[in-house]
Structure 1
Amino acid sequence: MTNNVNPLLRMQNIKKDFFGNQVLTDINFTLGEGEVLGLCGENGAGKSTLMKILFGMDVIRETGGYSGDILLNGQKVEFNTPFDALEAGIGMVHQEFSLIPGFTATENILLNREPCKKNIVSEVFGDRLNTLDYKEMDRRSAAAIEKMGVAIDAEMVISDMPVGHKQFTEIARELSKDQLKLLILDEPTAVLTEKEAEALLESIRGMAARGISVIFITHRLHEILAVCDKVVVMRDGYVVRDVSAKETSVEDITKWMVGRDVQSAVVTEARTNEGARTIMSIQNLWVDMPGETVRDVSLDIREGEILGIGGLAGQGKLGIPNGVMGLYEAGGKVTFNGGEIPLNNPRKCLDSSLAFVSEDRREVGLLLDESLEWNVAFPAMQIQEKFLRKLLGGLVKWRDEKGIHEVTQKYIDELQIKCTSSKQKAKELSGGNQQKVCLAKAFALEPKFLFVSEPTRGIDVGAKALVLEALKKFNRDSGVTVVMISSELEELRQTCDRIAIVSGGQVAGILPASASSEEFGLLMVSKVI
């Protein structure tokens, strides 16, 4: 397994500063052939930056490079581009997808490595006129998909895929490479259901058995213990622990990550809200969202409650908020606060004091090239004319820079967003901190009703508790009705009052959060399609 004399990978004294922050300081660890290393740390601890260095990402070179040494099989290497790393046998599945939306899964899996065959024209004029060998492409992509143990439609176009299947396509692409020695998985299970995640863990075990080394980054610490040989814990740019997985526990890792004790999640004391009026009534809703089709959902939401919506991937739970908020074609009837909300009209929803935090923070949630201030304040400025100073009855308007700064700083403090300042660009933040900015943006709208979809996707254990507590506080202090959609049942149980389970594009049932996991599990598989 591990050869400490001459391991497959050795990282020595790695240092990196990034946008004025010292993000990595003297990082040292080794990884043996066929060994699985779990890399843990809160958002902003430096995990993704360290992996970008190992994978030769352009952003490292463009920001002044790094210091320290990377040794592969005892030889010093320096990857200037990801192509150098790929050639050396290192693959990486990133936290954010890098797929071509208009291509099928097979075409993405074999991109730039497509098998070709000769034809009459190419025999005469040369190999450049060879044609693609589609039969061989199908065979190779099927073999890569089979290695994962999870069935995905190889012919489906990426833009039509549910988010979990996009993740599997990324992983299959790496598994299809013959020279693969080391695979870096950055939050691979964040978008997967428990069943899909278990299949992936089994796949990681299979990779290790074939001699492929794996660096596994995840915030689901039980997965680390289930599949890893060793655990490296980072905090504030340092390695604070490097231990055998057999000699540690979720509690220990959590303590090392955050530098404090984090209480294990307990189911919240659910409120019944039985006397509350119905603030939103959804009747016979259908939504044409690829991979998350809603067929016939009827649901009454009580004023002031936190309602959870759960279910397996692809069963329609994500389609509900996307349909109500007008992001995908929808039909049926939605009434809010006594009036009907027209479907397929996002602006009408926003004008009615509804807000939505999307599960897709990069494509829908953020202005990546803009500052945190602009991200937080812009929707409220555009929709409600907040943070604007006016003259001559509104004929002349200009931005209230002080107000914008104050509201952004308020949420940076409340949500503990790790950044250099409120002027920092959203794209420079870690994934979990970007997610907090999406929440801040919704809070700044001061809505009456908030849909929040996968609010803790890719967020570490310390930040997760903080985000869920922020949602509860927002609900209780502001009286805002919250509907929270999540793939993680335990997260819903510790946050919500009631939980609706969606299966087969319909509501299979609604239970109080205090109901047992087994009861929820039965609902999840009741109408599965």
Structure 2
Amino acid sequence: MQNELLKMSGVSKSFGENTVLKDINFTINKGEIVGLVGENGAGKSTLMKIIFGMSVIQETGGYNGEMIFQGKKVNFKSSFDALNAGIGMVHQEFSLIPGFKASENIVLNRESLEKSYLKEIFGDRISKINNEKNEERAKTAISHLGIDLDVNTKVEEMPVAHMQFTEIAREIERENVKLLVLDEPTAVLTEKEAEILLKTMKRLASEGIAIIFITHRLNEIMDVSDRIIVLRDGIMMSELETSKTNVDEITKLMIGREIKEKSSKKIESEKSLETILEIKNLWVDMPGEKARNINLKIRKGEILGLGGMAGQGKVGIANGIMGLYPAGGELIYKGEQLKLNTPKIPLEKGLYFVSEDRKEVGLILDENIDMNIAYPSIYIKDKFLKKKYFGLLNSIDEKEIENNTKSYIKQLEIKCMNGKQKVGELSGGNQQKVCLAKAFTINPEVLFISEPTRGIDIGAKKIVLETLKEHNKNSGMTIILTSSEIEELRSVCDRIAIVTEGKIAGILSPEDDLIEYGKLMTGVKGVKNE
């Protein structure tokens, strides 16, 4: 009890009707490293927002349960409260000032000032920063990390690893830091850099700082943590001593759901082995979803799944191929090399993309359903046009557009008044169905579709996935389906490629064990690739 630093008792959190955390109970002791793992959407981020007092928690009604820190009940109203109490956090996205030196970032807003009698009269406004003292403080903080980092280097000139260490140095330089939350700190690091960081974590723990370590790399969790907390769908599945568990057990707890509607095994001979699209050394500069080196052969007429954890690059692949973000590498489509970074080219060649970002990329919210569905086909395929004035001019065939919309409203069960209703008035799930109707209307040879069932209910999910299977079967459409839900991919795909750290970690069959998927998603080596 004397060693107890943080205690969470019965912590629950809802956003509206959506419960994201339910009855979370655990303790963290001084100098202990606790690994926090779970799939995307398991509740890890929300739990950390509560611990770090992020304003979104208070703005959405707070949370239920108790948080006790250093023996006192706390309910932080802001991150400043958490910082003052002794809790530091290093987020996935860097929060450094590029033009400032490492030392300036490390002591930012806590600078040492020169002594001056004028300060007593006029206050801090005329105080001068003591650069020498600040550099010494920064050097002391960095010395705890056990790395060689020049405090005079500007952030914009640093390698990514040094930026990460600068963030950590900034947090531990705070005099009263007792608990450090590290959110995916190794995601941007090479294997060797990650090893250094893990050693640094152990060093900090030996000095009495407790650490909550969030990562998808289960091998790292096994190497460095004392205990492991597993979340799934907002529920704390288990709290394990690291020395008494293994990667397989953790993976089962993370993703080991029963498969209620598993598709029957597809006979390989029914599917063509002809390559319709080959991706070579593809990189995509999409913020938060960078692809680094994608190599993949997509077979004609198959449904290929792209899975993996958030931020690993799976979403970037289609966005790069379709020219929405800067990309490089090679695309060979039906034997012809396609030029990258020109959105018009893949569309003209028969490739189409249903984006995960339906509001910004997929739809014109102020336009009606009819025209949202018809626009791409009108401009890319000259569909829904009729000749006027002896064939000299084209005009839009509104009747044909209306009939097309009616057929998809019925097929996809789009809940709306009629095709004249504005898309912005529809629910998110029905907007997603409009995006699908657009794609099916244009009827591309290759369809990239990203997170097609995000934010829609179970019934709507079934309709969407069944419709994808029907179009694949009836028209031979090649579909590349990107999804964060492994069970969704297993239910419709012929093969599933798992993307980890911007590369294809391996390709699995829908029949393969969930453990194999978990290993690929968490960076465990030695999994088959077919």
Normalising by structure 2, report the TM-score: 0.60
- CA-CA distance at 1:169 after TM superposition: 4.4
Kindly state the Cα deviation for residue 187 of structure 1 after the two structures are TM-superposed: 2.9
Structure 2 residue ranges without an equivalent (≥5): 260-267, 307-313, 385-395, 403-418, 437-449, 459-464, 510-523
Change (3 A) 1:275 1:213: closer
Residues 344-371 of structure 1, C-alpha deviations (whole Å, 9 max, x = no match): 53454555555789xxxxxx97479999
Residue 61 of structure 1, CA deviation: 0.8
**C-alpha displacement at 1:490, in angstroms?**
8.0
Aligned residue for 1:492, secondary structure, equals strand
Contact 1:373 1:405 in 2 (8 A): no
Q: Which residue of 1 aligns with 2:398?
A: 391
Gaps of at least 5 residues in structure 1 are 263-270, 309-316, 358-363, 423-438, 457-462, 477-481, 496-515, 519-529
Evaluate the alpha carbon distance shift between residue 302 and residue 80 of structure 1 in structure 2; reply closer, same or farther with a 3 A threshold. Answer: closer
Aligned residues: 442
Q: Does 1:156 align with 2:155?
A: yes
Match of 2:70 in 1: 73
Matching residue's letter, 1:248: T
* Pairs within 5 Å for 1:297-336: 304=300, 336=333
Is the CA contact (8 Å cut-off) linking 2:305 and 2:489 kept in structure 1? no
Q: Which residue does 1:405 correspond to in 2?
A: 430
Q: Which residue of 1 is the match for residue 246 of structure 2?
A: 249
Could you say what secondary structure the match of 2:155 adopts? Answer: coil
Q: Which moved more, 1:330-339 or 1:29-38?
A: 330-339
Identity of aligned residues (%): 39
Counterpart in 2 of 1:50? 47
Q: In structure 1, how many angstroms separate the alpha carbons of the residues matched to 2:294 and 2:454?
A: 40
Q: How do 1:107-126 residues align onto structure 2 when only pairs under 5 Å count? A: 107-117=104-114, 126=123
Paired position in structure 1 for 2:515:
none
1:14, 1:188 → 2: CA distance?
Answer: 25
Post-superposition offset of 1:73: 2.0
Post-superposition offset of 1:300: 10
SS in 1 for 2:506: helix
Q: Alpha-carbon deviation of 1:21?
A: 2.0
Distance 1:298 1:68 in 2: 45
* AA at the equivalent of 1:82: S
Equivalent position SS for 1:80: coil
The 1:36/1:391 distance shift into structure 2, 3 A limit, reads: same
Bigger Rg, which one: 2
- Say if 1:337 and 1:403 are closer, same or farther in 2 by CA, change over 3 A: farther
How far residue 234 of structure 1 moved from its aligned partner, in angstroms, is 2.8
Question: Residue type of the partner of 1:157?
Answer: E
One-letter amino acid of the structure 1 residue matched with residue 223 of structure 2: A
Q: Is the 8 A contact 1:354 1:448 kept in 2?
A: no
Q: Evaluate the alpha carbon distance shift between residue 147 and residue 57 of structure 1 in structure 2; reply closer, same or farther with a 3 A threshold.
A: same
Work out the CA distance in 2 between the residues paired with 1:341 and 1:246.
51
Distance 1:404 1:150 in 2: 49
Instruction: Select between 102-111 and 332-341 the one with higher mean Cα deviation.
Output: 332-341
Tell me if the contact between 1:15 and 1:26 (Cα under 8 Å) persists in the aligned partners. Answer: yes
Residue equivalent to 1:99: 95
Match 1:492 to one of 506, 509, 522 = 506
Distance 1:84 1:298, change over 3 A: closer
1:254-312 deviations in whole A, cap 9, x for unaligned? 333345489xxxxxxxx9x99956856879x999999x9999x999967659899xxxx
8 Å Cα contact 2:284/2:320 also seen in 1: yes
The residue type equivalent to 2:154 in the other structure is: E
1:121: Cα distance to partner? 8.8
Q: Does structure 2 conserve the Cα–Cα contact (< 8 Å) formed by 1:350 and 1:383?
A: no
Q: Please report how far the alpha carbon of residue 168 of structure 1 lies from its aligned counterpart in structure 2 after TM superposition.
A: 4.5
Deviations 1:421-479 (A, max 9, x none): 59xxxxxxxxxxxxxxxx9xx99x99979698xx87xxxxxx5x547758xx6576xxx
Post-superposition offset of 1:37: 1.6
Quote the offset at 1:227 in angstroms. Answer: 1.4
- Structure 1 residues 142 and 61, CA gap change in structure 2 (3 angstroms): same
Q: Could you tell me whether the CA contact under 8 Å between 2:33 and 2:210 is conserved in 1?
A: yes
Match for residue 34 of structure 2? Answer: 37
Q: 1:475 to 1:35 in 2, by over 3 A?
A: same
Deviation at 1:212, TM superposition (A): 0.3
Instruction: Classify the secondary structure of the residue corresponding to 2:175.
Output: coil
**1:39-438 alignment runs, 5 A limit:** 39-95=36-92, 97=93, 99=95, 102-104=98-100, 106=102, 107-117=104-114, 126-141=123-138, 143-145=140-142, 147-149=144-146, 154-157=153-156, 167-260=164-257, 276=274, 279=277, 304=300, 336-337=333-334, 341-342=338-339, 344-349=341-346, 352=349, 366=357, 391=398, 405=430, 407-408=432-433, 419=455, 421=457
Q: CA deviation at 1:66?
A: 1.6
Instruction: Determine if contact 1:373/1:404 at 8 Å carries over to the other structure.
Output: no
Aligned partner of 2:309 in structure 1 is: none
Question: C-alpha displacement at 1:68, in angstroms?
Answer: 1.9
Does structure 2 retain, via aligned residues, the 8 Å contact 1:6–1:74?
no
Give the CA deviation at 1:204.
Answer: 1.4
Partner of 1:459: none
Aligned-residue offset at 1:181: 0.3
Residues in 1 aligned to 2:115 and 2:236: alpha-carbon distance in whole angstroms: 52
Distance 1:141 1:346 in 2: 47
Q: How does 1:496-515 map to 2 (within 5 A)?
A: none
Give 1:314's aligned residue. Answer: none
Contact kept in structure 1, 2:323 and 2:340, CA below 8 Å:
yes
Report SS of the residue matched to 1:8.
strand
User: How far apart are 1:11 and its partner, in Å?
Assistant: 1.5
Q: Which amino acid aligns with 1:62?
A: E
Q: Once the two structures are superposed, what CA deviation does each residue of 1:86-142 show, in whole Å capped at 9, x if it has no partner?
A: 0010112234x2525654462544432334446899798543233444555555445
Q: What's the offset of the Cα at 1:31?
A: 1.2
| 1:74, distance to aligned residue in structure 2 (A) | 1.5
In 1, the alpha carbon distance for the partners of 2:15 and 2:351 equals 37
Compared CA separation, residues 354 and 248, structure 1 to 2 (3 A): same
In angstroms, what is the RMSD of aligned CA positions? 6.2
TM-superposed CA distance for 1:85, in Å, is: 0.6
Structure 1 contact 225–245 (Cα < 8 Å) conserved: yes
Q: In the superposition, relative to structure 1, how do residues 483 and 156 fare at CA in structure 2: closer, same or farther (>3 Å)?
A: farther
| CA distance in structure 1 between the aligned counterparts of 2:487 and 2:455, rounded to whole angstroms | 16
Letter in 2 for 1:99: S
Equivalent of residue 6 in structure 2, options 9, 12, 34: 9
State how far apart, in whole Å, the 1-side matches of 2:294 and 2:254 are. 42
Deviation at 1:184, TM superposition (A): 1.5
Q: Is the contact between residue 24 and residue 237 of structure 1 (CA under 8 Å) also seen in structure 2?
A: yes
Structure 1 residue identity aligned to 2:57: I
Amino acid at match of 1:42: E
Distance change >3 Å, CA 293–CA 240, structure 1 → 2: closer
- When normalised by structure 1's length, the TM-score is 0.60
